[in-house]
């Protein structure tokens, strides 16, 4: 049985994983204290959304290796930033440790996939 061809960024498993975990964090961040609205809450939401947005941009640039890899690098950096905000949320007791570890682990998987693609982008590029 053949896999369906990837037609858009939304077909990428790494995108689906990043989007799903982002929505979990979004729901959890609604319970962060109001005084964090313009700091931790805003920062974590910006970074987890940027992981997905940069994946979408990377996919649209997969005709050009350098542009493709650059956007994947941006996505990788945003995923790592999100992990940092998750650690702050746990340390500030806005998230329980187990939830923080679970979310952090998903981002480790996202990061692993991104690094794998960055290190070998050829299969993902459109051949001209």
Any residues with CB less than 8 A from the CB of 43 and at least 6 apart, and which? 81, 85
Q: How far apart are CA 21 and CA 44, in angstroms?
A: 12
For residues 18 and 39, give the distance between their C-alpha atoms in angstroms, rounded to a whole number: 22
Pick the closest to residue 114 from 81, 66, 63, 70 (CA basis).
70
Mention every residue, 6+ apart, whose C-beta is less than 8 A from residue 116: none
Q: Binning pLDDT at 50, 70 and 90, where does residue 126 land? A: confident
Measured between alpha carbons, how far apart are the two ends of the chain, in Å? 27
Q: Please say whether the beta carbons of 9 and 15 come within 8 A.
A: yes
Q: Centre a 10 Å sphere on the Cβ of residue 98 and count the other Cβ atoms it contains.
A: 9
Token couple for 33: 């204290």
**pLDDT tens for each residue of 20-43:** 999 999 999 999 999 998 899 999
At 50-69, the pLDDT tens digits run 999 999 999 999 999 999 99
pLDDT value at position 107? 98
């Amino acid at each position: 049985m053949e896999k369906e061809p990837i037609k858009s960024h939304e077909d990428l498993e790494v995108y689906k994983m990043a989007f799903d975990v982002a929505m979990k964090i979004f729901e959890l961040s609604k319970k962060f204290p109001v005084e964090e609205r313009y700091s931790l809450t805003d920062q974590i939401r910006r970074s987890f959304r940027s992981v997905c947005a940069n994946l979408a941009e990377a996919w649209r640039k997969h005709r050009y290796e350098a542009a493709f890899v650059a956007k994947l690098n941006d996505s990788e950096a945003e995923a790592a930033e999100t992990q940092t905000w998750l650690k702050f949320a746990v340390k500030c007791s806005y998230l329980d440790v187990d939830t923080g570890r679970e979310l952090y682990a998903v981002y480790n998987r996202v990061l692993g996939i991104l690094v794998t693609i960055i290190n070998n982008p050829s299969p993902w590029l459109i051949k001209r």
